Chain A
Amino acid sequence: MKKRSGTFYLLMVPVLLWLGLLIVIPHLDMVYRSFRFETDDWEMVFSLNNYLTFFQDQIYWLTFVKTALYSIGVTFLAFVVTFPVAFYLTKVVGKKYSSFMTLLLLIPIWIGELVTVYGWMILLRDNGVINTFLMNIGIIKEPIEMLFTNFSMTIGLLYMSMLFMIVPMMSALDSLDDSLIEAASDLGASKWTIFRKIIIPYTTPGIVSGGIIVFMLVIGDYVAPNILGGKSSLWFTEQIYNKFLMSFNWNEGAAFGFLLLGLSSGIVWVALKLSGQKLEKVGS
């Protein structure tokens, strides 16, 4: 065992402070709260009730299931939408242009989610840019209802999360030697087979790591479902927000928070198993 120098311990101090004060202690506090329950006599007792509420009241677990399924869908869409872009940027366009175009892709992140969400509102509303344009050129007579629907919410979620899909995918595609594609073609594979048998398996770690980020971002997002979503788009995070801020039930809110963390991690775990990936490999 190597003997550690004083400097080593000195440098450990800020790290431990960071981990302890900003991560461990607040979460322990929340764990503690999540097991506290207020009885009808206004007494705080230890109880699993906060967690049980989630499973007993169908509105909660149904909302979670809906949110999770939707998030999986958005993640898949993000893959479908970004894959051609990533492929184009890494394999078709020259290096010089591709880095510039990648920078352009970053713009929504610089601007921030709230502003882009309002931008989408301007585009999608009944008398917004898209509907006005379509009516002016005579394709439609009545405006298409796009804003405040699941469609607009999906767009908002996709727009903010796409980049996190495209970056790991691009780095995976970047390391894919073109000669692998040529070799497959030479061995008689069609374009579709090359895509399915060579490109997808090769980039799976990138796709999975992008997918995890997108899934976690989407399932934990609040802004897009809340503002762009329609009148029925109850997102699980909104319920947590309501627990904390509307009904002041911090204990239930904390429990729901941990349920979100636990269940979404579970989904990620299942996804890793299904795709045969290991977290360490995907994370690197």
Chain B
Amino acid sequence: MSYVLEIKNVTKKFGDFTAVKSVSFNVEDGGFFSILGGSGCGKTTLLRMISGFENVTEGELLIRGESMEGIPPERRPVNIVFQNLALFPMMNVEKNVAFGLQRQKLPKNEVNSRVTEMLERVGLIGFEKKKVTELSGGQRQRVAIARSLVLRPSILLLDEPLGALDRKLREHMKIELKVLQREIGTTFIYITHDQSEALVMSDYVAVMNEGQFEQIDTPKNLYKNPATSFVAGFVGESNEFNITSYADGELTTDNGCKLVKPGLDYQPKKLFIRPEAFILDSPETLPDVALINTRIKNILFDGANTKLSVVVKESADEMLISLPQNAKFDNLHDGDDLQVGIHQDDLKCYQN
């Protein structure tokens, strides 16, 4: 397997502040790789090091096996789609897309044919002469991507390009981007703080926190088996508990709730349970399922995302439980008692 990008122990320091701490990862050719993290986690710095706008303080950065040390942005086989897109306002759509090709001193007809081909691919035929300021948000997005992709880069870097769009368009663009990437097969490295964008589009997602990678995995694994408590808390929704004791396969939360979780070879400190992991439908009939008696405090209706806010009986713990919207559970009310089950595999425990 060849790697298009290899990052080896890369560190970036700004004065005393270390933005990126000894990060290592490889990206496979043709994949859709996302870096997910909150603001200030170092993901943008990492991206700027790949594109060449920042120097690497320590470590090594290879693209297609070649070291990128000392190579300026304009000579790296990577292109960026900026957060604000950075389209050139004084040029029309066609000229924006042709800009990079013209820099390579390609013959005019080749430039034209490649621009047309690219505009066709992103569905902007007929918009060639439009000013970029006259386009809609989604169209501008596509111009920005086309402008980079037309150069056939080894890697396309995308710096939260959907951030400025409204929700509906964002949902739409997510799918469009994914389809586009599949079609053209260029490696995408996508930076975002929006986990849904990362999970929907990516082949692999790296979760970044305080300059380090917490986990690199497929979206499904990331969700199903978070490697660290940070990932468990950051990706998807979770009920978080502090564990005070663990003995004989039974753990106790700091509010007194007891749950069975056998086979841990370490002393767990944190417990995460996803709201949708709870079983409401006859949990007592299933194996390896612990039963929890709760009282409904509140029904938080939100269509398909409707949740119950419940209090665990004989403790002060509160948690959220996903409520399937089917007729069976339509008669639940605030204050009702409710027994729910949880499979021991869905109890995610961490040492810190």
Contacts and interface: CB of A to CB of B under 8 A. Distances in A.
Q: A and B from one assembly?
A: yes
Interface of A: 177, 179-180, 182-190, 193, 197-198, 201-202, 204
Interface in B47-92: 51, 53, 72-75, 78-80, 82-84, 86, 88-91
A182 B53 contact: yes
A158 B80 CA distance: 42
A31 B80 CA distance: 61
A183 B82 contact: yes
A187 B151 contact: yes
A177 B90 CA distance: 13
A182 B73 contact: yes
B324 interface: no
Interface of B: 51, 53, 72-75, 78-80, 82-84, 86, 88-91, 99-100, 103-104, 147-148, 151
Given A180-B86, A186-B148, A193-B103, 17 more contacts: A179-B84, A182-B53, A182-B86, A183-B82, A183-B88, A186-B53, A186-B74, A186-B78, A187-B74, A187-B79, A187-B151, A189-B103, A190-B74, A198-B88, A202-B88, A202-B90, A204-B90
B103 A186 contact: no
A79 B72 CA distance: 29
Contacts of B103: 187-190, 193
Closest 10 pairs between A and B when the two form their complex, measured CB to CB = A187-B100, A183-B86, A188-B103, A179-B86, A201-B90, A188-B74, A179-B82, A185-B73, A186-B80, A186-B73
Q: Which of A185, A186, A188, A204 has the most CB of B within 10 A?
A: A186
B89 A187 contact: no
Interface centre among B73, B91, B104, B147 (most CB of A within 10 A): B73
Contacts of A183: 80, 82, 86, 88
A162 to B, nearest CB: 26
Q: Is the interface of B mostly helix, strand, loop or mixed?
A: mixed
27 contacts: A177-B84, A177-B86, A182-B82, A183-B86, A185-B72, A185-B73, A185-B74, A186-B53, A186-B73, A186-B74, A186-B78, A186-B79, A186-B148, A187-B74, A187-B99, A188-B74, A188-B75, A188-B103, A188-B104, A188-B151, A190-B74, A190-B103, A193-B103, A197-B99, A201-B90, A201-B91, A202-B90
Given A187-B79, A187-B148, A202 B74 contact: no
B99 A184 contact: yes
A186 B82 CA distance: 10
A190 B103 CA distance: 8
A197 B151 CA distance: 18
A281 to B, nearest CB: 12
A184 B73 CA distance: 10
A184 B72 CA distance: 12
A189 B74 CA distance: 6
Nearest to A204: B90
A183 B73 CA distance: 9
Contacts of A188: 74-75, 100, 103-104, 151
Contacts of A180: 86, 88
Contacts of B82: 179, 182-183
A9 to B, nearest CB: 40
Nearest to B105: A188
Contacts of B51: 186
B91 to A, nearest CB: 8
Contacts of A187: 74, 79, 99-100, 103, 147-148, 151
A202 B90 CA distance: 7
A179 B53 CA distance: 11
A198 B91 CA distance: 9
B153 to A, nearest CB: 9
A188 B148 CA distance: 10
Contacts of B90: 201-202, 204
Nearest to B72: A185
A187 B91 CA distance: 15
Given A186-B51, A190-B74, A202 B89 contact: yes
A281 B148 CA distance: 31
A177 B83 CA distance: 12
Contacts of B73: 182, 185-186
A177 B53 CA distance: 15
Contacts of A197: 99
Contacts of B84: 177, 179
A185 B151 CA distance: 13
A189 B100 CA distance: 7
A185 B48 CA distance: 13
A190 B100 CA distance: 11
A180 B148 CA distance: 13
A274 B104 CA distance: 29
A180 B88 CA distance: 7
